[in-house]
């Protein structure tokens, strides 16, 4: 972005010019020498103000530093720094201004409506030196925001002329969904529901990979005794096995809303995204299973892998940008889950409405082969419009 500098006469400057015009006009019409001298004296500050304001902005370098990540409702702190590259001359009364606009998810462009105008005043920046400042605020909605372009201006020394310098190009910041708290009842109910579905998958024998041998202890399974090693050691030795990994989880996010949504529908959408984000964060931080996310994007697809911080960052950014749809895409999302997720993966459907995966409305839209793959899986539906959600999840204020 090419820097550009513009000047504008302030309101005080126009008042000053009006007085100057009256004095100079009276001097010409009345032929009064003292008024001519007074008019010349009044013209001096206007020209001096224009020259000094321009010189004040020369040789300045502005830097902006944004936080790496921020959730909706958290305090956004933007750090600013001005460096004066001139050796001796300082700069006075510098004002940094930055417009903040929300980016429309459908067009990918900033909205015309200005959300906020942040400003920071630097009284003085000495030569060969710098000054730091910051502004803060709260962005209460998830999504992408456009910050800038940043403008540096001054009205030094008399406030008659304002010079403005476009110093930093516009940048974007992604506001992630706000995380809530999952109650112990959620984990207990989830593990209880999985216990029954796991029984038919259990095979006789010992699960897990072989890890090593150790001395037998009271309560150990006798089938794990390694008799050959026990005979050589003269004491009972048992085989140790690594604990099997937790069940992999796929979170399917269905953000349906009517064609004309109300404020209640908007709140329900954000609640569903917050719940899905909290669930994904808990699974990724445990790192004991693979985590997948299938959301109602323009092209729904599964994003996931082994639970990790890097995966959590990717999933949170995707959740920050997902938009609700009036079109019914529940069958399409479950079809993606059946096609792209491995068998044995637990599927948690987070929806803004009450849906039944086995209902004719969903089954009729899916190919028979994919529905058969889906029918044998454990699917749990969480309806965020239901009061039952309050038992399992609490959104932070």
What does the alpha-carbon distance between residue 394 and residue 396 come to, in Å, rounded to a whole number?
Answer: 6
What does the alpha-carbon distance between residue 347 and residue 251 come to, in Å, rounded to a whole number?
Answer: 6
Check residue 201 and give its pLDDT: 43
Check residue 244 and give its pLDDT: 47
Encoded tokens for 142: 């998830």
| Bridge partners of residue 382, in order along the sequence | 350
Check residue 186 and give its pLDDT: 84
CATH of 1-176, one of 3.40.50.300, 1.10.10.10, 2.60.40.10, 2.60.120.10: 2.60.40.10
Q: What are phi and psi of 287, to 5 degrees?
A: 65, 20
Domain ranges across the chain: 1-176, 208-243, 249-394
- All residues at 6 or more sequence positions from 244 whose CB lies less than 8 Å from its CB, including other chains: 207, 208
Per-residue CA distances from 373 to 121, 341, 376, 377 (Å): 63, 10, 6, 8
Helical packing angle, 309-321 and 263-286, nearest 10°: 170
What does the alpha-carbon distance between residue 24 and residue 37 come to, in Å, rounded to a whole number?
Answer: 9
What does the alpha-carbon distance between residue 374 and residue 337 come to, in Å, rounded to a whole number?
Answer: 8
Residue for token digits 């708290």? 181
What does the alpha-carbon distance between residue 269 and residue 274 come to, in Å, rounded to a whole number?
Answer: 9
3-class DSSP string for the chain: CCCCEEEEECHHHHHHHHHHHHHHHHHHHHCCHHHHHHHHHHHHHHHHHHHHHHHHHCCEEEEEECCCCEECCCEEEEEEEEEECCCCCCEEEEEEEEEEEEECCCCCCECCCCCEEEEEEEEEECCCEEEEEEEEEECCCCEEEEECCEEEEECCCCCCEEEEEEEECCEEEEEECCCCEECHHHHHHHHHHHHHHHHCCCCCCCCCCEEEEEECCCCCCHHHECHHHHHHHCCCEEEEECCCCCCCEEEEEECECCCCCCHHHHHHHHHHHHHHHHHHHHHHHHCCCEEEEEECCCCCCEEEEECCHHHHHHHHHHHHHCCCECCCCHHHHHHHHHHHCCCCCEEEEEECCCCCCCCHHHHCCCCHHHHHHHHCCCEEEEECCCHHHHHCEECCC
What CATH number belongs to 249-394?
3.40.50.410
**25, 26, 29, 35: CA torsion to nearest 10:** -100
| Bridge partners of residue 63, in order along the sequence | 81
Check residue 222 and give its pLDDT: 76
What does the alpha-carbon distance between residue 169 and residue 1 come to, in Å, rounded to a whole number?
Answer: 6
Check residue 164 and give its pLDDT: 94
From first to last of its 397 residues, the chain has per-residue pLDDT tens of 455 678 899 999 999 999 999 998 888 888 888 888 888 898 889 889 888 988 899 999 999 999 988 999 999 999 999 999 998 899 999 999 999 999 987 777 888 778 889 999 999 999 999 999 999 999 999 999 999 899 999 999 999 999 998 988 999 999 999 999 998 888 777 666 555 554 444 444 445 555 577 787 766 777 778 888 888 888 888 876 554 446 789 999 999 999 999 999 999 999 999 999 999 999 998 877 899 999 977 777 888 999 899 999 999 999 999 999 888 888 888 888 888 888 778 889 999 998 888 777 777 777 777 777 777 667 888 999 998 888 889 888 6
Query: How far, rounded to the nearest angstrom, does the alpha carbon of residue 62 sit from its chain's CA centroid?
Result: 25
pLDDT in tens, 56-112: 999 999 999 999 889 999 999 999 999 999 988 999 999 999 999 999 877 778 887
What does the alpha-carbon distance between residue 67 and residue 76 come to, in Å, rounded to a whole number?
Answer: 7
What does the alpha-carbon distance between residue 293 and residue 301 come to, in Å, rounded to a whole number?
Answer: 8
């Amino acid at each position: 972005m090419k820097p550009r500098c513009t000047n504008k006469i302030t309101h005080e400057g126009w008042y000053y010019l009006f007085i100057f015009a009256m004095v100079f006009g009276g001097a010409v019409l009345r032929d009064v020498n003292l008024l001519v001298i007074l008019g010349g004296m009044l013209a001096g500050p206007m020209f001096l103000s224009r020259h000094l304001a321009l010189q004040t902005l020369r040789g300045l370098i502005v830097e902006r530093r944004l936080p790496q990540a921020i959730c909706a409702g958290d305090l956004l702190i933007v750090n600013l720094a001005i460096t004066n590259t001139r050796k001796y001359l300082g700069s006075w009364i510098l004002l940094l201004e930055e417009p903040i606009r929300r980016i429309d998810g459908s067009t990918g462009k900033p909205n015309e409506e200005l959300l906020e105008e942040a400003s920071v005043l630097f009284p003085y920046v000495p030569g060969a030196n710098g000054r730091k400042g910051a502004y803060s605020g709260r962005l209460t909605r998830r999504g992408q925001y456009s910050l800038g372009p940043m403008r540096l201006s001054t009205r030094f020394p008399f406030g008659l002329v304002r010079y403005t310098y476009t110093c930093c190009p516009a940048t974007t910041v992604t506001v992630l969904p706000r995380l809530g708290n999952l109650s112990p009842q959620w984990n207990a109910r989830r593990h209880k529901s999985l216990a029954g579905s796991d029984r038919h998958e259990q095979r006789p024998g010992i699960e897990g990979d072989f890890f090593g041998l150790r001395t037998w202890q009271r309560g150990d399974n006798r089938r794990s005794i390694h008799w050959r090693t026990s005979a050589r050691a003269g004491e009972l030795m048992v085989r140790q096995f690594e604990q099997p990994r937790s069940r992999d989880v796929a979170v399917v996010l269905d953000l349906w809303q009517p064609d004309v949504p109300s404020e209640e529908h908007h709140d329900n959408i954000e609640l569903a995204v917050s719940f899905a984000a909290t669930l994904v964060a808990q699974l990724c931080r445990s790192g004991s299973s693979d985590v997948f996310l299938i959301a109602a994007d323009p092209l729904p697809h599964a994003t996931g892998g082994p639970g990790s911080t890097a995966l959590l960052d990717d999933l949170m950014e995707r959740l920050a940008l997902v938009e609700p749809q009036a079109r019914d895409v529940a069958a399409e999302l479950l079809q993606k889950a059946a096609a792209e997720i491995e068998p044995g993966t637990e599927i948690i459907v987070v929806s803004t409405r009450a849906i039944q995966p086995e209902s004719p409305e969903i089954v009729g839209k899916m190919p028979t082969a994919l529905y058969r793959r889906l029918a044998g899986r454990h699917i749990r539906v969480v309806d965020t419009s239901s009061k039952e959600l309050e038992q399992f999840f609490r959104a932070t204020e």
